[in-house]
Amino acid sequence: MSDCIFCNIVAGNIPANKVFEDDDFLAFHDIAPKADTHLLVIPKQHIVNLDDLTAEHAGLMGKLMLTLPKIASQQGLSGYRTITNTGAEGGQEVFHMHFHILGGSALPGF
Ligand code: 5GP
Ligand code: ZN
């Protein structure tokens, strides 16, 4: 997806402040942080959002759920919030699936 910002970050065409990378996922600091620590965790594969998932993605998504706390722990977060926005009405602005990790200071209740 040559016109996708996050695919271009994966490809190294757009710089990002990376904190984690493996074969399947990349994590980097959000360019406009909404908390002391605000990371974005993305699959390297272009998946639009949760609505784009099929049964074929089950293993990858399971691995993502195990990777999120690993990244949070590496960043020294003892508590954090994970958010993924789905669709324009859900507040999604970048249409490459990403999980926000927010933390570093006490977050208000939801
Ligand atoms: P969404 O609203 O789609 O859930 O979140 C998109 C997030 O991507 C926003 O928090 C926004 O600040 C972040 N973002 C947009 N463009 C870039 C970029 O080029 N680099 C980084 N690091 N973050 C970006
Ligand atoms: Zn993409």
Please tell me the total count of domains within the chain. 1
Residue 57 lies in a domain: yes
66-85: pLDDT as tens digits:
999 999 999 999 999 999 99
Shortest-distance atom of ligand 1 to CA 98: 4
Instruction: Establish whether residue 32 lines the binding site of ligand 1, counting it when its CB lies within 6 angstroms of any ligand atom.
Output: yes
CATH number reported for the structural domain that contains residue 69 in this entry: 3.30.428.10
Pocket of ligand 1, candidates 14, 37, 93, 96: which has the most ligand atoms within 8 Å of its Cβ, to mutate?
A: 93
Residue 85 lies in a domain: yes
- Residue 91 has what DSSP assignment? T
- Residue 3 has what DSSP assignment? T
What are all long-range contacts of 25-32, with beta carbons under 8 Å and residues at least 24 apart?
Answer: 25/63, 25/64, 25/67, 27/71, 27/101, 30/100
Helices (H), 1-110: 5-11, 58-74
Distance of CA 48 to the CA centre of its chain: 12
Residue 108 lies in a domain: no
Domain that holds residue 20: 5-103
15-67: pLDDT as tens digits:
999 999 999 999 999 999 999 999 999 999 999 999 999 999 999 999 999 99
**Ligand 2 centroid – CA 26 distance (Å):** 12
Residue 109 lies in a domain: no
Residue 110 lies in a domain: no
Residue 20 lies in a domain: yes
Residue 11 lies in a domain: yes
Residues having C-beta closer than 5 Å to ion ligand 2? 1, 4, 6-7, 46, 96
